[in-house]
Structure 1
Amino acid sequence: MHSDQGKARRLNFTKRMHPLRAAGLALGALCVAVSLYEDGVVTPWLWMALAFSGLLWPHVAYLLARNSAASVKAEYRNLLIDAAQGGFWIAAMAFDTLPSVLLAIILMMNQIIVGGRRFAARSLALLGAVCLLASAALGFRFDPVTTYPTLLACLPMLVVLPLVIGGSSRSLGQKTLQQKKLLEKTSRFDAATGLLNRQQWLFAARSEFDRFLRAGRPAVLMMIDIDSFKQINDGYGHTVGDLVIEEFARLMKACLRDIDSGGRYGGDEFCVIMPETRWEEAIVAAERLRRQVASYEFPQPGLRCTISVGLAEINPTIASVNDWVVVADAALYAAKARGRDCIEVARLPAALQVG
């Protein structure tokens, strides 16, 4: 599966390159054609080569890359061929200033965007080498004056191609941003429940703990366990067990405020940080959640679910987030020891039991 995804990404790269190359080389060929015509060049093979370079080569390059086992490497080879062709046509135009500069700049811009500065430097070196060899083969012709018709032929390349490249770059940037957001979301949230994963929830808990140390603001940490979850898995199967986890998470999120941070601590154990909350207020929310879970009707006949809850209000005797979790977890296990389907509140100076 991963190899299929990698192949799809490589093919997408080739597909993105195809319209850029087709547009760039066609517009470049127009500049070259007018420059050659203005210069009085009538060599048939040169015009045939220009037609191939500007109109056929982009599609040949696409087919070569698409059908290659290493399509990305093939595409980089195609880019080097683009640079070599650019060097040849600069020499063929006798170094006509405007189209030569445009051709070199557009080619190098593509190389930098795709391969970075080092690859662009290699491409520039190849362009220069081919340009010198071609110039020698053509008799070292040098006529840098750009005529008015050639200038007009360069305008589409000056206007259209930057728009094409800009639109493609924007589309790629939006896709990259979407992938970044998706990656950020998957790295922060538990995939099965949509709740914060353990690491992110502990970060939220530390933030609230630091806030208590700075300002003394109240907060409650709630640890929740689905009762007899192993028996649910054994009796109904892991698929149903996963459904129980998802439905409980949905019920839990419905009972939380916007400022609360709910997370999956691990397996069938969940956790909540409730800022600006005393234990008396937290127990109301916990009891509401307990009743909703107990009364929830699952599609499977005979399947019922209950939870046990442990609450711990932050106080000066708690030295760290880890201690806070330990206190709430101890209250949770006390609730399970009482027979499950109940709430235990850890607070100073004594524990308050609610069932």
Structure 2
Amino acid sequence: MTRLTRRALLGIGAGLVAAPAIAQPRAIRLMLDWTPQGYHAAWFLAAERGHFAREGLNVAIQRGFGSGDVVTKVAAGVADIGFGDPGAVVKHNAENPGRAIVNAFQYFDRTLAGVITLAGRGIEKPSDLRGKRIAAPAGDSGRVLFPAFARANGIPADSVTWITVAPPIREPMLMRGEADAITAFVSGAFFNLRALGAREADIRMFGFNAHGVDIYGNALLLPAELAQREPAMVRGFVRATIAGLRDALNDPAAAIAAVQAREPLADVPLETERMRFIMREAVLTPTVAQHGVGHVDGARATAMVAAMAESFAVPNPPAASSFMLTDFLPPAAERMLPAMRA
């Protein structure tokens, strides 16, 4: 056995003291838009498979309470980064220029907001909504955007009657016939109605993007001040997100297992189907196939700001270029996505 002298031991100790400290990972709080679901798997896999760690990040993921609410919570400092509605940023930034929020990564190329109804309610096309009762929470994205949807489809915005309800109540009300239609994310309403016994063939969905309101869906949002102060951190977070998303598309079973690890009551077949639905409708679009995930078209972004300014009655909306940022994206070649595996 090798024996170390007292002098050698002291030398080792001195070396340990003199060694530079190992940098600690940057702690980041990410707020989702809702409880963990299949489309959130990109961040769960980024954590599990070391993508965040390789970027020097230690990310704590917390549930949210709606994509619009995320903007308020991030602005208030409840989370550092949030997965929320960039449309809601229009009103927030107009009213809070000193606490502006920016979009660092456009995850959903299309909004999932829409009007949903059932067969037998006399609504087979958007114009049939005249005189109908629509149930939705007051701040629901689809309800807020309804004036733009109505204008695009030749419907007087005041020709419908709104019933204000809590989110869990709208689909049951539609099933019972207490409302003729609802506004919601189609990805939620479709599966909720099926769980309540509706036949798939009887569900009618009028997604806003397919009916004249071509706007962006949820994105990674954070305070402008944080983005300006730590651009390298934001770029790393975006890279890790894309890596996690690619892993989720290549291995859907692992993606849903990562969701179930955080939400034990998750229905695996349902969440798998929901994830496929959302990837098809909002992420793996022709635009993303051409330009890569995260691409922002200036004309579309400007149109979104105009639609939100009208819906929220914002007289001085911010320019789309002031918050719909692409500065943190890797090159397009690194943002191309694979098809989702079976």
Superposed pair shares fold, TM > 0.5: no
Larger RCO of the pair (alpha carbons < 8 Å, separation 6+): 2
Query: TM-score, normalising length from structure 2?
Result: 0.20
Larger Rg: 1
Query: TM-score, normalising length from structure 1?
Result: 0.19
* The structure with more helix, counted as a fraction of residues: 1
